[in-house]
Amino acid sequence: MPRLAVIGHPVAHSRSPDMQTAALMEMKLAGEWTYGALDVAPEDFEATVAELAVAEEYAGVNITVPHKEAALAMADEASEGARAIGAANTLSFREGRIVADNTDAGGLLRSLPRSFRGERVLVLGAGGAARAAIWALVDEGASVDVWNRTADRGATVAAELGAGTITDPDPAAYSLIVNTTAVGLAGEDTFEALPLSPDSFAAGQTVLDMVYTEEPSALLAAAEDAGATVVDGLEMLVQQGALSLRIWTGEEPSIEAMRTAVRRG
């Protein structure tokens, strides 16, 4: 029976097991495949993945914080996107070899209501999630500016991925705003930590916040009040998870079944 899992630290909060199990059930694969969660500390990550790769029990794993860069470093093969982004969120085990992919980039594009080719986009943050977003949007043909609290880090990431940098953005100048930071997850004031205010948004814009909580984030609530189109982190979780499942099983999972499961969680 092929096994799948999400690896992170911590990982108990992850909704991936419920989401992916619902998809496997809809695909009528739940009797053959299982999906769980493995909490692995950074110092144990390399040994754990190496063991999974040769044990022939696991077909693959999703990778979440803080292991995405380490996952790419362990790979015997990697997709073009994973190499360019510098991180992997999907590992497949094939005859003892580790194959790395990054479905965060494709998941972000599939989460959006339309293409932003030729339009201005603001990405907040410069971590692994930001790298995937920047790479995907630049590759699609958008003009991307990167803001990061540590400006030097933002400039480095932007230069590597073909984006620009900005220290004092005018939110009204962008068709799409993507928050890849964790601001808001711990209850801090979103508008003190980010270069935005509650009146930053306008109808016609799209705002994607990768943070997901039980209630809409303060960022998305303000954007929706202004008439902007909003996309939350759960939708991106679903879309990237569906791409991972397709890599492992070769079949297209039910997005609706995954959405229902992840929002019920």
The catalytic site residues sit at 68
Residue with tokens 């495949």: 33
Structure token digits, residue 149: 């609290």
Helix (H) or strand (E) holding 181: none
Angle CA 199–204–205, to nearest 5: 60
